[in-house]
Amino acid sequence: MNEIKVISKFTIYENSNELNSFDKKLLLKAFEAKKNAYAPYSKFSVGVSLILENGRVILGNNQENAAYPSGICAERVAIWNAASQYPEIKIQKIFICASSQTRTVDKPIPPCGACRQSIAEYETKQAENIEIFFTGETGKIIKANSIGDLLPFSFNNSLL
Ligand code: THU
């Protein structure tokens, strides 16, 4: 019998003023994207921006449905938007923010499990890490240098 320890590393920023100006602009784009979220059921809006290595910024937001499971998260809207338009261009960074119509979201909102799995697919495909920044509408911003920090032991194509 053996035990192993898995260590994840995150950078915590007190607020967006601690980000460099490039990252701060990208986070603002995520907030812009959040405005077009369609979240009449959860009243929880998520916005995402991502930057590709060709400099393109791609946006996404959550899109809900009266048949609840047919809705989709902002992260997957954004990465599939990127993958469908620029399949061979690497994703460098993803910015995620969230707010609610019923309360102030003052804690960083991390991507859900399905979105982590989807991000992991593209990190594996491009063989280069994707930085992931996530926040609420106010407060701290957390950065992971790779999806591996958010999803250790992920299932991937090497296991098929
Ligand atoms: N949501 C996202 O867009 N991303 C996540 O990572 C977590 C949840 C959305 C899905 C749904 O529209 C709403 O937030 C509440 O779960």
Please check whether residue 80 lies inside any domain of the structure.
yes
Report the distance separating Cα 158 and Cα 34, nearest Å: 35
Order of strands, sheet of 57-61, starting from the edge strand that comes earlier in the sequence: 10-13, 141-144, 131-135, 91-100, 44-52, 57-61
- For residue 66, give both structure tokens: 């009266």
Q: Please identify, by atom number, the ligand 1 atom nearest to the C-alpha of residue 77.
A: 3
Q: For ligand 1, is residue 23 a contact (CB within 6 Å)?
A: no
32 is catalytic: no
Ordered per-residue pLDDT tens for the chain, 160 residues: 999 999 999 999 999 999 999 999 999 999 999 999 999 999 999 999 999 999 999 999 999 999 999 999 999 999 999 999 999 999 999 999 999 999 999 999 999 999 999 999 999 999 999 999 999 999 999 999 999 999 999 999 999 9
Q: Are 128 and 93 in contact (CB under 8 A)?
A: no
Distance 4 CA to ligand 1 centre (A): 32
> b/e for 43-63, b at 16 or more Cβ within 10 A?
ebbbbbbbbbeeeebbbbbbb
Overall number of domains in the chain: 1
Residue 41 sits in which domain range?
A: 19-150
Please check whether residue 7 lies inside any domain of the structure.
no
Contacts of 65 (CB under 8 A, 6+ apart): 71
Please check whether residue 115 lies inside any domain of the structure.
yes
pTM summary value: 0.97
Distance 62 CA to ligand 1 centre (A): 6
Q: Please identify, by atom number, the ligand 1 atom nearest to the C-alpha of residue 112.
A: 6
